[in-house]
Each structure stands twice: as structure tokens, then as C-alpha cells.
Amino acid sequence: MPGFLQVAYHYFFSPQVRRSIVYGDQPRNRLDLYIPPPTSAGLKPVVVFVTGGAWIIGYKAWGSLLGLQLAERDIIVACLDYRNFPQGTISDMVRDVSQGISFVCNNISAFGGDPNRIYLMGQSAGAHISSCALIEQAIKESKGERISWSASQIKAYFGLSGGYNLFNMVEHFHNRGLYRSIFLSIMEGEESFEQYSPGIRLKEPRVRKAASLLTHIVLFLDPKTTLIQVMTKLLLKLFKVLKLKQT
């Protein structure tokens, strides 16, 4: 059986995959959980994965291979869906992802996960959205606002091929078919670029206190590296961090 069919079969029929768990009341507020086989005792580390898709075609099942591979290594994986454009714009996407992370932080122990060992991973547009959500949460926390999850609960953030400065991304995407007018609609206009540019926000003096709440941040940005190489490096780095956190 071809590899992609094996992954699809496992996704739809494996008892280790809990599909479409509701985490909010908006469309696409769903997540999939990949649960390791019950071969060892104790709570397990958790990876929250936010898939990419140019903010338009993201889907939680895109993370199925990653979920299956990490579950084999005794790690729980939660793959989040969020509202895509035009169903939502960037503020909706960030809000959805933050709510999904909150659900995991507050409920993962019921699925055998350790709420004190949660790691956040995003790919492409998912890296952008999840980093925005993490920074927004850190800012709220630093201001003493009421929160449903803490940025300091995230033991490490892994960003794969993400964009962190919207000002530098407009022409890049326009030249590749995501036209400027659409990009501006997704990002709620150029006036919102700074707010949704993590690379800029972390340089702001007023955000420094919030930044101190963030732990390990690992970014993979090398354009000369193939996707397979990047994923391999990312997994190896993730396993190393997880091992350190277990000791």
C-alpha cells in the first residue's frame, strides 16, 4: 500500500487518533489528538501543532504524519484547525489558535498528557499565527490580565518556515500568486502589519517584559534546506529538548 494511503488509513481508523475534538464555538474550532500506545506509565509530553496553508487552505490533517511519528515516540500531538480566509481574518485565526492552546493546556491531562510539558510548533502560516498567539498571550500575562493559559506553560516554540515580518512578505506573496489585495484583506490592512509581525513586536521596549515569559524559541528559516531536511532537523531538535525537560 502506498505510504500516503497508509497514513490516511491510520488517520481515519486508528484508535490512537481522536479526530475533531471541539475546542471552541466557532467554525473549524476542532483539533485532532494523536495518542501514543499505552505501553508506558506516567503523563506524556505534548506537542501542539499548527499547520500552514497560506492562511487559506490550512487543515489539521496535514499534520497527520508528524502526529503519527511523534506518537510512536511516546509524545501526544494535538493538531489544531482554525478559521481560514475568507471565513476569518488574521485576528480570528490568532484567537482560534490561542483558544485551541488553552483547551490543550487545561484538558490534556484527561488524555494522558502532561500540562507541564507542552511544546508549540507551527509550520509556514501556522508558524506565523502560533507565534502571534504566543506573544499576545505573553503580553496579556505581563499586564496582569485574566488569562486561560500561560505563555510560560509553553516549554519551547518551534517555527518551521514561518514569516515574522509582514512588511517583508507582501511582495514575496504577490509575486507567487497570493495577490497584494488578498494578503491585505487577510491581514486586516497594512495598519495591522506591526501588530501581527512577531519579529517587530519583540523589539518594542514595552514588550520586553512579556518576552521574558517566553522560553526556548527555535526557528528554521534556511531557504537552501529542503522540507524533508528541515523536518528531520526539527524532530531531532524537538527530541533533544523533550529529553532535557524530562530529566
DSSP code for 155: E
Residue closest to 131 by CA, chosen among 100, 90, 162: 162
Mean pLDDT of the chain: 88
Residue closest to 136 by CA, chosen among 79, 210, 218: 210
The CATH number assigned to the domain with range 3-163+217-246 reads 3.40.50.1820
Residues forming a β-bridge with 220: 160
- Asked if 48 and 121 count as a contact pair (C-beta separation under 8 A), the reply is yes
- Asked if 47 and 121 count as a contact pair (C-beta separation under 8 A), the reply is yes
Each residue's pLDDT tens digit, 30-58: 999 999 988 778 899 999 999 999 999 99
Distance, in Å, from the CA atom of 47 to the CA atom of 159, rounded to the nearest integer, reads 13
Residue 233: predicted pLDDT = 59
Each residue's pLDDT tens digit, 138-159: 999 998 999 999 998 999 999 9
Band of residue 211 on the pLDDT scale cut at 50, 70, 90: confident
The residue type at 157:
Y
Paired sense of beta strands 17-22 and 44-50, if any: unpaired
Query: Is residue 219 classed as helix, strand or coil in its secondary structure?
Result: strand
Distance, in Å, from the CA atom of 169 to the CA atom of 184, rounded to the nearest integer, reads 11
Higher pLDDT, 117 or 235: 117
Residue 129: predicted pLDDT = 98
Q: Using a CB cutoff of 8 Å and minimum separation of 24, what contacts does 198-206 make?
A: 198/128, 198/131, 198/132, 198/135, 198/164, 199/164, 199/165, 200/165, 200/167, 201/135, 202/135
Band of residue 10 on the pLDDT scale cut at 50, 70, 90: confident
The H or E element spanning position 93 is helix 90-107
Query: Is residue 77 classed as helix, strand or coil in its secondary structure?
Result: strand
Would you list the domain boundaries of the chain?
A: 3-163+217-246
Strand segments (E) across the chain:
17-22, 30-34, 44-50, 76-80, 113-123, 154-160, 216-220
Residue closest to 108 by CA, chosen among 135, 76, 67: 76
pTM: 0.88
CB count within 10 Å of CB 117 equals 21
